[in-house]
Each structure stands twice: as C-alpha cells, then as structure tokens.
Amino acid sequence: MSRSAVLLSLLVVSLLALPHFAGAYAISVATLILYFAYTGQAWNVMMGFAGQLSLGHSLYVGVGAYAAGALFFHYGIGPWAGLWVAILLCVLLG
C-alpha cells in the first residue's frame, strides 16, 4: 500500500471517529474547515487549471444554504431534511 493511500485511510477513519470523541463545537469547526477546503480546491480547479472565472455555482451554494437555514430557523426542520429540500430547490432553479 502506498504512503498516500495509508494517509488517506487514516484521514477517513479519523473523520468518521470524530463525532464519537469531539463535542458539537469541534464538529462545527471541522465542518467549516472541510467546506472551505472544498471551496478553495474548486476555486483552484476553475481559476488555476481551467482559467475560467465562474461565480454562477456560488448562487446555488447561497440559495441552498439560505433555504436550509430558513427551514431550520422558521420551521424547526432538521439539517438533514433541510439539505434535501435545499438540493431540490437548487435542482429546480438549475
């Protein structure tokens, strides 16, 4: 097994074990870190490799996040159900 495969396996196992050992704040921080890492890599692919500036996908991220947040705040719908409603809303907008 290569070194990168071992490191990736350790990362996946540690992320799967995180909710069992960490508090809500640590999980929230880890979620934000992973989200911003994903966003940074997406930006790197679009601007660094493809050379295209596209801010259209940010619309769907914003609409989905706003819909999920509004459903939770106003109606008490949990984040997992809000996620599916946000995905459906973004699909309908696309």
Instruction: List pLDDT tens digits, range 44-76.
Output: 887 877 777 777 777 888 888 889 889 889 998
User: Encoding tokens for residue 26?
Assistant: 């640590």
Phi first, then psi: what are they for 69, rounded to 5°?
A: -65, -40
The whole-angstrom separation of Cα 82 and Cα 69 is 8
Q: What is the pTM of this model?
A: 0.52
